[in-house]
Amino acid sequence: MVRKKILVVDDEPDVVNFIKTRLEADNFKVVIARDGLAAMEMVNKEKPDLILLDIMLPKLNGWEVCKRLKRHIRHKYIPIVMVTAKDQPIDKIIGQSLGSFEYITKPFNPSELMETVSKALSNSIL
């Protein structure tokens, strides 16, 4: 089976590190972006199977990245998992038509992360 590729977008290197370790242990290939614009580039270049997307990002925030991807004919079917902090008004934003995505609230434990990732992957049409 081909290893699935996951793009992790977060500006905290340590957050990226522990998520990367966990995902690699579960046999995913991991690529990284540190801000919103870099994330857009990486999507074009790496064509990931799933994106783990933090919301508070430099240059271009996570919602904006999500919106742009969902508008894009080639990228709109890539499943996205939004990573939010506890107090962010997720309900409101879900109502806006950003297209479908999963989300996970920080801090999450490993089993939550893996569950959400596999749920998002199984929902994807590709």
Partner 1 sequence: MNKKRNVSELDKLKKLSELQAKFVSTVSHELRTPLSIIVGTVDNMIDGLAGKFTASQRKCIQTIRNNALRLHSLINSLLDISSLDSEKMVFKRRAVDISGFIRKTIKSLQPLAREKEIEMTYESPKFLPMVYADSERISQVLTNLLSNAIKFTPSKGKINVKATAEKKEVGASVEEESRGLFFSEHGFIPARTSVTPDFVHVTVSDTGIGIKPQELEKIFDRFYQIEGGVEAGLRGAGLGLAISKEIIQRHKGKIWVESKYPDGGSKFHFTLLQYTPSLNFYISLDERFQLDKKEGKSLSLIFIETSEEGNGKIFSRVEKIVQDNVRGLDVVTKYQDKIAVICDTAREGALIMEKRFKDAIQKHKVNKDSGSKMSVNFGIATYPEDTATEEGLIRKSLERLKEIK
Q: Write out the residues near partner 1 by the rule CB under 8 A.
A: 12, 14-15, 17-19, 21-22, 25, 56, 85-87, 91, 106-110
Q: Least Å distance between CB 18 and partner 1? A: 4
In this complex, which beta carbon is closest to partner 1, that of residue 14 or of residue 125? 14
Instruction: Give dist(CA 79, CA 124) in Å, integer.
Output: 6
Q: Cβ of residue 85: shortest distance to partner 1, in angstroms?
A: 6
Q: Please, what is the angle between helix 36-46 and helix 62-71, to 10°?
A: 40
What does the alpha-carbon distance between residue 51 and residue 79 come to, in Å, rounded to a whole number? 6
The H-or-E segment that residue 38 falls in is: helix 36-46
SS3 label, residue 111: helix
Q: How far is the CB of 111 from partner 1 (least distance, A)?
A: 9
Shortest Å, Cβ 21 to partner 1: 5
| Residue 18: DSSP 8-state | H
**Cβ closest to partner 1, residue 17 vs residue 123:** 17
Nearer to partner 1, 70 or 110 (CB): 110
